[in-house]
């Protein structure tokens, strides 16, 4: 139904824009998109016209008809129609036997014929299947426009991508649109601007985040939590440069295979350098720098290391996809018999973080290798079998929800992705734990065993429980809708003076709280008291204290608590003790 709806929308677009050239129109979760070259860009207003015309075609009841056609005849037909993108796909199919028809889909040629589908005057290259008629489509809505390079390559023309959602019943569509409205309210870019958390400036560059003081406070509090928990879990912290010589990334194997995702090389007088796109090669050198004994294992090296990735400008999205990213990274170097305990430790640490942040709807995805595809994986069957069984045991013993998928591991070992269903209904991977068999060979990693012999059976666990500062804060902003727990709130208490006569006393209270480690500020602006209180409420500040004669005379305070209509009465000492507890225990 959703794929038929994509064809329906394309047919409507063709009626309104006869010169339009059509790319591809696959389904996605809850709907579809269609990439179209309109010649002159259309606007969001034009989406309403296309949607209305498509609804007219539903009422009309246009059949979806399938035809088989010789591939040469199909190429000739699409060229005659001016549909150059369809002709290009068919030429690829003819010469290579396969072609990429979408971001996640490929078509294969079987014999000399291809299938096309007609929807009225609209003709599309498609393998189907489709509904019988447009009347069989339930309900749909076009949701947004975006840009998309043809076949995902920046050197190709940029098309306009029309997104739509489609459901069988109106109730389902209404529920989904309500969720989209909630997602818009919680959009991390919108809240980030409202709360002065971060911004991106073209003078610095797209995808490079500038953190405001408020956003930096939240970043620092998250990192403070990590340092505290990792220290208790036996990690040691390291710091590494933002760049390295080409030879390091050749040794790690990231060059040439990962080259397109790295920034261009910098030729210096002593060699060629790259900005680092990952921290692991640097950490491997730290491990290798000293002679290691079995008594030192496992060795857990941690770093909030900043990496740089050359993402296409069109794919960048606020904090979710950036070019400069600071990772909650660590690498654990251990023996084979330590893998289970270390994986369990990482899992426990990760789940512990999620409990603090109040995350609930998540599950684990164990990605395994396939012995049928040795071109994709290191050929160490015994290690694969052992590692996958050990990780499976850890997941079962932890009692967490998990699924297993074949042929999706990293080339160097199995991995566990932690999948989330966010409060706005978006599914995404937030954390990854990976096991590495390859680093020991590439970097000659070894240790002296209990017999005094050199042993190179070193396994590396790559883990980033809290992803990157950028991605994780985007997730947190949307999770909390900008209503920060006290321990994360940039401003924890705001003092609002009743009048200018109370301003100096309010400043002294602010200083007393600030010096006690509480993030307090003051509003003595030349506005009415009511306006200043409303501003503090709108800023979602956890606690607001109006400072007048009673508060300065030592009497109990009346405190406005975020989310409560009724104020709470307590002494200054009781209030400070409450704040200390909420901050220390991260309530």
The pLDDT value given to residue 410: 84
Neighbours of 178 (CB within 10 A): 10
How do the domains of the chain map onto residue ranges? 2-183, 194-240+279-480, 244-277, 493-584
Phi, psi for residue 170 in degrees, rounded to 5: -60, -35
- The domain covering 493-584 belongs, at the CATH homologous superfamily level, to Anticodon-binding domain (3.40.50.800)
Q: How far apart are CA 284 and CA 261, in angstroms?
A: 21
The pLDDT value given to residue 98: 60
The pLDDT value given to residue 120: 93
The pLDDT value given to residue 305: 93
Mean pLDDT within 545-567: 94
Residue 156 and residue 183 in contact, taking contact as beta carbons nearer than 8 Å: no
Residue 230 and residue 330 in contact, taking contact as beta carbons nearer than 8 Å: yes
Q: Burial level of 516, CB count in 10 A (0-12/13-18/19+)?
A: exposed
The pLDDT value given to residue 183: 85
pLDDT tens digits, one per residue of 511-538: 999 999 999 999 999 899 999 999 999 9
pLDDT tens digits, one per residue of 469-493: 999 999 999 999 999 999 999 999 9
Task: Work out the mean pLDDT of the chain and round it to a whole number.
Answer: 93
Q: How far apart are CA 465 and CA 467, in angstroms?
A: 6
Q: How far apart are CA 190 and CA 505, in angstroms?
A: 36
Provide the sign of the torsion angle of the four alpha carbons 130, 134, 138, 140, taken in this order: positive
* 516 to 214, 304, 466, 486, 546: CA distances (angstroms): 19, 28, 29, 15, 20
User: The pTM is what?
Assistant: 0.82
Beta strands at 98-100 and 122-125: parallel, antiparallel or unpaired? unpaired
pLDDT tens digits, one per residue of 366-412: 999 988 888 888 888 988 999 999 999 999 999 999 999 999 888 88
Give me the sheet containing 415-421, strands edge to edge.
Answer: 236-237, 299-308, 324-334, 459-463, 427-436, 415-421, 362-367, 402-405
Q: What stretches of 110-245 show up as alpha helix (H) in DSSP?
A: 170-186, 188-194, 213-232
pLDDT tens digits, one per residue of 164-195: 999 999 999 999 998 888 888 999 999 999 99
Mean pLDDT within 414-435: 86
> Would you tell me the crossing angle of helices 339-357 and 213-232 to the nearest 10 degrees?
140
Residue 147 and residue 161 in contact, taking contact as beta carbons nearer than 8 Å: yes
Provide the sign of the torsion angle of the four alpha carbons 336, 338, 342, 343, taken in this order: positive
Residue 350 and residue 326 in contact, taking contact as beta carbons nearer than 8 Å: no
pLDDT band, very low/low/confident/very high, at 110 (cuts 50, 70, 90)? low
* 173 to 9, 59, 140, 162, 267: CA distances (angstroms): 17, 19, 7, 18, 55
Mean pLDDT within 280-308: 97
Provide the CATH number for the domain formed by 2-183 in this structure.
3.30.980.10
Q: ω into residue 129 within 30 of 0, thus cis?
A: yes
Query: Which of helix, strand or coil describes residue 102?
Result: coil
Strand partners, 568: 559
Which residues have a Cβ under 8 Å from the Cβ of 478 and sit 6 or more positions away? Answer: 183, 186, 187, 188, 191, 422, 423, 424
- Rg of the chain on CA atoms, in Å: 29
Q: How far apart are CA 186 and CA 424, in angstroms?
A: 8
Neighbours of 586 (CB within 10 A): 14
Residue 466 and residue 353 in contact, taking contact as beta carbons nearer than 8 Å: yes
pLDDT band, very low/low/confident/very high, at 104 (cuts 50, 70, 90)? very low
Neighbours of 75 (CB within 10 A): 21
Answer yes or no: is pLDDT of 253 > 70: yes
Q: How far apart are CA 280 and CA 65, in angstroms?
A: 54
Q: What percent of the chain is modeled with pLDDT above 70?
A: 97
Query: Which of helix, strand or coil describes residue 317?
Result: strand
Q: How far apart are CA 78 and CA 529, in angstroms?
A: 70
| Cα 26 off chain centre by | 22
The pLDDT value given to residue 521: 96
Mean pLDDT lowest for which of 55-59, 157-161, 418-422, 490-494?
Answer: 418-422
Q: How far apart are CA 176 and CA 282, in angstroms?
A: 45
Mean pLDDT within 325-343: 95
Q: Identify the CA nearest to 431 among candidates 488, 478, 385, 364.
A: 364
Beta strands at 543-547 and 493-497: parallel, antiparallel or unpaired? parallel
pLDDT band, very low/low/confident/very high, at 96 (cuts 50, 70, 90)? confident
> Would you tell me the crossing angle of helices 572-584 and 503-515 to the nearest 10 degrees?
40
| Cα 75 off chain centre by | 40
- The domain covering 194-240+279-480 belongs, at the CATH homologous superfamily level, to Bira Bifunctional Protein; Domain 2 (3.30.930.10)
The pLDDT value given to residue 99: 63
Q: How far apart are CA 15 and CA 33, in angstroms?
A: 18
Q: ω into residue 256 within 30 of 0, thus cis?
A: yes
| Cα 427 off chain centre by | 10
């Amino acid at each position: 139904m959703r794929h038929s709806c994509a064809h329906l929308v394309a047919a409507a677009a063709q009626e309104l824009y006869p010169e339009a050239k059509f790319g591809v129109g696959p389904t996605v979760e809850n709907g579809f998109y269609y990439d179209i070259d309109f010649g002159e860009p259309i606007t969001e207003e034009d989406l309403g016209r296309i949607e209305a015309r498509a609804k007219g075609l539903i009422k009309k009841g246009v059949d979806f008809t399938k035809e088989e056609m010789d591939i040469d005849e199909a190429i000739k037909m699409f060229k005659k129609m001016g549909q150059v993108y369809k002709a290009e796909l068919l030429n690829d199919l003819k010469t290579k036997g396969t072609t990429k028809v979408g971001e996640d889909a490929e078509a294969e040629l079987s014999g000399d014929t291809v299938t096309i589908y007609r929807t009225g005057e609209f003709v599309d290259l498609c393998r189907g299947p489709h509904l019988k008629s447009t009347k069989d489509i339930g309900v749909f809505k076009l949701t947004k426009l975006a840009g998309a390079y043809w076949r995902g390559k920046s050197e190709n023309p940029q098309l306009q991508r029309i997104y739509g959602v489609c459901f069988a019943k109106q109730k389902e569509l209404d529920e989904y649109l309500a969720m989209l409205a909630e997602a818009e309210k919680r959009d991390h870019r919108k809240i980030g601007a409202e709360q002065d958390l971060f911004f991106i400036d073209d003078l610095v560059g797209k995808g490079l985040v500038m953190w405001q003081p408020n956003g930096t406070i939240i970043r620092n509090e998250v990192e403070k939590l990590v340092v505290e928990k990792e220290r208790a879990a036996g990690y040691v912290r390291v710091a590494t440069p933002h760049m390295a010589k080409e030879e390091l990334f050749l040794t790690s194997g990231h060059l040439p295979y990962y080259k397109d995702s790295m920034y261009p090389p910098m030729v210096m007088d002593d060699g060629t350098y790259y900005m680092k796109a990952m921290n692991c090669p640097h950490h491997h050198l730290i491990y290798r720098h000293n002679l290691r004994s079995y008594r030192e294992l496992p060795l857990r090296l941690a770093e909030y290391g900043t990496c740089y990735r050359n993402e296409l400008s069109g794919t960048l999205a606020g904090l979710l996809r950036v070019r400069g990213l600071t990772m909650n990274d660590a690498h654990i170097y251990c023996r084979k018999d330590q893998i289970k305990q270390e994986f369990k430790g990482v899992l426990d640490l990760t789940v512990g973080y999620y409990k603090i942040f109040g995350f609930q709807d998540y599950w684990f995805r164990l990605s395994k290798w396939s012995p049928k595809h040795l071109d994709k994986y290191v050929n160490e069957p015994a290690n694969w079998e052992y590692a996958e069984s050990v990780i499976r045991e850890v997941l079962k013993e932890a009692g967490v929800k998990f699924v297993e998928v074949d042929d999706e591991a990293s080339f160097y070992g199995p991995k566990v992705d932690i999948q989330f269903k966010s409060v706005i209904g978006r599914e995404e991977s937030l954390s990854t734990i990976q096991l590495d068999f390859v680093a020991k060979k590439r970097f000659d990693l070894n240790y002296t065993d209990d017999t005094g012999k050199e042993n190179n059976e070193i396994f590396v666990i790559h883990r980033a429980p809290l992803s990157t500062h950028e991605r994780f804060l985007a997730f947190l902003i949307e999770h909390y809708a900008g209503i920060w727990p006290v321990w994360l709130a940039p401003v924890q208490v705001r003092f609002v003076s009743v009048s200018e006569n109370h301003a100096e006393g309010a400043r002294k209270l602010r200083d007393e709280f600030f010096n006690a480690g509480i993030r307090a500020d003051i509003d003595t602006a030349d506005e009415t008291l009511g306006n200043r209180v409303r501003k503090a409420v709108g800023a979602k500040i956890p606690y607001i204290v109006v400072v007048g004669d009673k508060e300065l005379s030592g009497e109990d305070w009346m405190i406005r608590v975020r989310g409560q209509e009724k104020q709470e009465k307590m002494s200054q000492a009781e209030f400070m003790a409450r704040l200390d507890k909420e901050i220390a225990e991260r309530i």
